[in-house]
Every structure is written in C-alpha cells, then in structure tokens.
Structure 1
C-alpha cells in the first residue's frame, strides 16, 4: 500500500519538474498579471479628468465650427430653413436678436436674392470652463456670396465665438470678427 501512495506522488513531482509545465504555469501567471494591469490602465484612463477634458474640447470645437458655418450660410430659396438653422445653433442674447430681427432680415435676403455658403478652414478652442458650461472658439472660414448677377464674391475671415452648454449641447451665444493685428514692430 505504501507503494500506491508513492506512485502518484512521484508522478506529481515529475510533472512539477517538467520544464514545459513550469513554463506554462509561469506564462499563465504573467498573462493574468498583464490582463489585470491592462484592465486597470483602461479603467484609469476612462476615468481620467484629462480624457474628459479632451472630449469636452472636441465636443465644443465641433459644435462651434458647425454653428459658425451655419451662421454664415443662407440661401434665399430656402430662407426659412436657413433662419431656423441659425436659431437652432444659438442661445441667449444672440438667439433673441435673431428671433427679434428675423422678419426684417428675411425681407432683406429675399429682396437681394443672395446665396451664401461657408466652409470651415480651421478652428480652435480658445478657452473652456466645463464647470461653468462656457467655451470660446476661433474659426477660420471661407464664405462665398453669390448674387443674381455678377461673379461670386469670396472672402476668408476669422471669427470668435462664445459657446454656452445647454441641455441640447453647445450653442453659440456670441459671434464676432476676430481682431487682425500687426506683429511688425
């Protein structure tokens, strides 16, 4: 009977000494450790304030560029749709000004029969305060205005916009021309 007990013990010891078994166990332990480390790193990155801030910047920039483009695009043939787009892109005092002046502006555009299209060339977030829900953007764009007669007029400009976070996302709350200065001394 003593022999029966020693046989399985010898087999177990022989397996434990087998270099392939030892290597497989070591690799399994390393793989489990790497998986745990990778999971922790992924969790940590997903809950990192820097990642959240970067996403907020991207969201603000995308909304700001789209809003500035919307505000510089208007076709007299689809005037109501274009003015609705302006109102949907804005909030606060800027939106109130657009709503209050909508009829007069619509009349001017309908009489002029112009079509303006804007293309964003580049944009940047100039400031971001996530807690207060405010952001600033600078957008460079090319605006083409086509009148019923004559050649289209093309103008490139830089605009500064203020954004406010609303329940629907970032909206333009102010828009103005960026100052152009001279760096010559």
Structure 2
C-alpha cells in the first residue's frame, strides 16, 4: 500500500509541475512582443489587400464615386494627389467607358515599423478592363505599397508600380 501511495504522490507532483510549467509558458506567450508584431503584420496585410484592390478599380460610369472610394482608403501625399484629380481628367475617364477591376493575387509585408506606424508591401494585382461592348482584358501588375497608421486604422500612403524586369 505504501508503494501505491508513493506512486500516486509522484504522479500528482508531476502533474502539478507540468501544470505550473504550462501556465507559465502560456502567460509568457500572452505577453510576447512577437505576437503583437505578428498581429499587426496580419492586420496590415489584410487591409492593404483590400485597399490596393479598391485603388486599382474604377468604373467609368461612376468616376466620382470611384475617386471617393480611393480617397477613403488613402492618406498623405497619395490622398492629396488623388484629391487633385481635376474635372478634365474625370471627364476623360468617363468618356473612355472603361471598367477596371483590380484583384490582388498575392501580397507580402516587406517592412513594418509598428512603433512609427509605417509599412511597405509587395503586391501582385490582376487588373481586368472591360470597355463597352468588348471582351475583358487582364493585365498583371506589381506594386510597392506604402501604408501608414492613422486614427481610423491603416491606409495607403503610396502605390508605385514596379517595372517589369526589376529585381
């Protein structure tokens, strides 16, 4: 009987040690900066994918509405540039009768500074264009996207096309 008590006591002690170690590890993981960084990276990636798709989409039948959507997802110099779209350019876009739809194929965060609220991403986009009465034409583009954290979350601060053949 004494042997059985010793074995049971050993099992209980081992279980308590394991539970203590597991609890300590769980607490440490919850306070790990790398988890917060990974969550921020995932948020930036998700937001950027949506916003780049928005910024590469424009319906000639609603140019003003499309530009309003662009302004909603942009900030800084990029937003200023988009807001400066004049009436002549808007009329030309309407006159072309083209509907462009951007779809992000792939994206990756290449730089992230969570402290300053800035990020850069590499983004591959397929832009399908349809002109009244003609079949759609798809073109793939690569972009470097800049993101900035603002009061309402992350927004695009830059979107630059990467030329073909660039490394």
What range is the shorter-chain TM-score in? 0.7 to 0.9
Query: Is 1:160 the equivalent of 2:147?
Result: no
> Structure 1 residue runs of 4+, over 6 Å off?
none
Aligned counterparts of 1:89 and 1:63: Cα–Cα separation in 2: 9
TM-score (norm 1): 0.80
Aligned counterparts of 2:60 and 2:107: Cα–Cα separation in 1: 27
Higher share of residues assigned strand: 2
Q: Which residue of 2 aligns with 1:178?
A: 162
Q: Note if contact 1:57-1:125 (Cα within 8 Å) is conserved in structure 2.
A: yes
Q: Which residue of 2 aligns with 1:7?
A: none
Segments of 5+ residues of structure 1 without an aligned counterpart are 1-13
Aligned counterparts of 1:182 and 1:120: Cα–Cα separation in 2: 19
Query: Is 1:52 the equivalent of 2:6?
Result: no
Aligned counterparts of 1:169 and 1:123: Cα–Cα separation in 2: 19
Aligned counterparts of 1:30 and 1:115: Cα–Cα separation in 2: 67
Cα 1:182–1:57 change in 2 (3 A) is: closer
Query: CA RMSD, aligned part only?
Result: 2.1
Q: Note if contact 1:75-1:116 (Cα within 8 Å) is conserved in structure 2.
A: yes
What is the CA-CA distance between 1:27 and the residue it aligns to? 2.3
The structure with the larger Rg is: 1
Segments of 5+ residues of structure 2 without an aligned counterpart are none
Aligned counterparts of 1:182 and 1:78: Cα–Cα separation in 2: 34
Higher share of residues assigned helix: 1
Q: Note if contact 2:71-2:83 (Cα within 8 Å) is conserved in structure 1.
A: yes
Query: Is 1:143 the equivalent of 2:127?
Result: yes
Cα 1:22–1:108 change in 2 (3 A) is: farther
TM-score (norm 2): 0.88
